[in-house]
Amino acid sequence: MMLIRLQLTNFRNFQQLEFLPFEGFTVVSGPNGSGKSNLLESIYYLGTGYSYRQMHDENLVRWGADFFSIRGEVRQGIRQPLPYRLESAYQKAARRKIFKINGKRDLPGKGAAYLPVVIFSPQDLLLIQGPPGLRRRFLDMVVTQVWPQHAVDINYYKGVLLQRNKLLRQGSGIASQMEPWDEQLIAAGSRIIDRRLSVLSRLLGSGRRIYEILGGSGVLTGTYVSQVFPSGEELERADEACCRELFRNALKNARSLDERLKVTTLGPHRDDLRFFLNGHDARFYCSQGEQRLIALSLKIGQSRIIAEERQLEPLVLLDDVFSELDEKRRSQVLNEFCAFRQVIATTADYSGDYADKCQLTTSIVSLHVRSL
């Protein structure tokens, strides 16, 4: 898979930008603040429907403008006659997000079907240290890259949850109205959990091996954390039918609490992931370097899973990650990506390092754009 053209309008510091990435390794170099991370952020947004640096889309709109748009052309194979045209836009006043594939509206998350991206950036530490919402979003994004249909379930689940919470806020006499919402929540929710569990187990398997290869000490493990699985033991053998039954029971048991708090207190929207080194929770016991290596291993695992499941290589984005790695790890990580068809890396200080370490043609693009 290859991104062959990117056009930005009013995205961050770019009023207009046309970028034609090369095949192989593209290094984007430029001084601090020239927009290197913004450029990768726009590609990531197109492929996932959200930013890896910001929770709020309005922050991505260029100061003084009222919308941004990102257009990309993607070619998946040589036999594909015309590239896919992807377009993401956000209108600030209406708070409207629009995503189109070949001119037709679709869910923003569906970008993952055409442009699966994996990013490595200083923000990766948040995968371990950040709030649960970031980990859920990461896992759902990987699931969507493997099964694009997941985006539809997530969207549907959010809609049902909104309705259920609205009903809970109304208070008394809602019991009979609740049931249909519960059934829909259970149906979509159990599919979501089942897919998450299956992708997480592959991610952990791959991540553990890569963590070892990268010289990490200790054994990396992880788990899904959910009130739907009260003892945690059910996780091992949970399939979709089992998730459905457990979710139904948990929802029933939590009903009076939900009514008191006027909100749905459990379900995939409240779940989390935990990572452990030798059984110790990575958030509290691992050094920053170890946490970074865990995140890096999981991301490399993500690229492998996409390549295996979709027979489609993801576009790899490296945002200044090399400045944070020591010499040995830098070349090990580069080796991991040599085989990928397209890698776009940013650096403020280009020293030719990439080309030497990775026997690939390296193309260099200089960004000298400052805010207009």
> Residue 10 or residue 190: which is nearer to ligand ATP going by CB?
10
> Residue 37 or residue 332: which is nearer to ligand ATP going by CB?
37
* 209: its two tokens: 């091996």
Please tell me what DSSP assigns to residue 256: H
> Residue 30 or residue 314: which is nearer to ligand ATP going by CB?
30
**Contact flag: residue 289 with ligand ATP (CB under 6 A):** no
> Residue 14 or residue 211: which is nearer to Mg ion going by CB?
14
> Residue 66 or residue 183: which is nearer to ligand ATP going by CB?
66
Tell me how far apart the alpha carbons of residues 148 and 46 are, in angstroms, rounded to a whole number.
Answer: 14
> Residue 30 or residue 189: which is nearer to ligand ATP going by CB?
30
Centre a 10 Å sphere on the Cβ of residue 314 and count the other Cβ atoms it contains: 25
* 169: its two tokens: 């806020």
# of chain residues touching Mg ion (CB under 5 A): 2
Strand partners, 31: none
Q: For residue 210, what are the contacts with CB-CB under 8 A and spacing of at least 6?
A: 296, 297, 300, 301, 336
Contact stretch for Mg ion (CB under 5 A) within 28-36, 56-64, 100-108, 288-296: 28-36
Residue closest to Mg ion when measured from CB atoms: 37
Residue 311: what are its φ and ψ, rounded to 5°? Answer: 50, 45
Residue for token pair 């991610």: 203
Strand partners, 365: 28
Contact partner at residue 362 from ligand ATP, Mg ion, none, CB < 5 to 8 Å by partner kind? none
Tell me how far apart the alpha carbons of residues 296 and 158 are, in angstroms, rounded to a whole number.
Answer: 30
**Contact flag: residue 37 with Mg ion (CB under 5 A):** yes
**Least Cβ distance, residue 235 to ligand ATP (angstroms):** 39
The correct pick among 7, 17, 62, 200 for binding ligand ATP (CB under 6 A) is 62
Contact stretch for Mg ion (CB under 5 A) within 35-43, 51-59, 160-168, 190-198: 35-43
**Contact flag: residue 347 with Mg ion (CB under 5 A):** no
Closest Cα to residue 26, out of 7, 49, 4? 4
Contact partner at residue 13 from Mg ion, ligand ATP, none, CB < 5 to 8 Å by partner kind? ligand ATP
Site for Mg ion in 239-278 (CB under 5 A): none
Residue pair 364/29 in contact by the 8 Å Cβ criterion:
yes
Counting Cα atoms < 13 Å in the Cβ hemisphere of 235 gives: 19
**Least Cβ distance, residue 14 to ligand ATP (angstroms):** 8
Tell me how far apart the alpha carbons of residues 93 and 82 are, in angstroms, rounded to a whole number.
Answer: 34
**Contact flag: residue 102 with ligand ATP (CB under 6 A):** no
# of chain residues touching ligand ATP (CB under 6 A): 17
* 88: its two tokens: 């993401």
Contact partner at residue 291 from ligand ATP, Mg ion, none, CB < 5 to 8 Å by partner kind? none
Site for ligand ATP in 20-49 (CB under 6 A): 30, 32-38
The stretches of 1-125 forming alpha helices (DSSP H) are 36-48, 111-114
**Contact flag: residue 10 with Mg ion (CB under 5 A):** no
Contact stretch for Mg ion (CB under 5 A) within 32-40, 46-54, 101-109, 356-364: 32-40
Contact stretch for Mg ion (CB under 5 A) within 33-41, 114-122, 235-243, 283-291: 33-41
13 to 30, 341, 369: CA distances (angstroms):
14, 28, 8
**Contact flag: residue 121 with ligand ATP (CB under 6 A):** no
Query: Hey, what's the torsion of the CAs at 325, 328, 333, 335, to 10 degrees?
Result: 150
Residue pair 103/32 in contact by the 8 Å Cβ criterion:
no
Q: List contacts with ligand ATP (CB under 6 A).
A: 12-13, 30, 32-38, 59, 61-63, 320, 348, 371
Q: List contacts with Mg ion (CB under 5 A).
A: 36-37
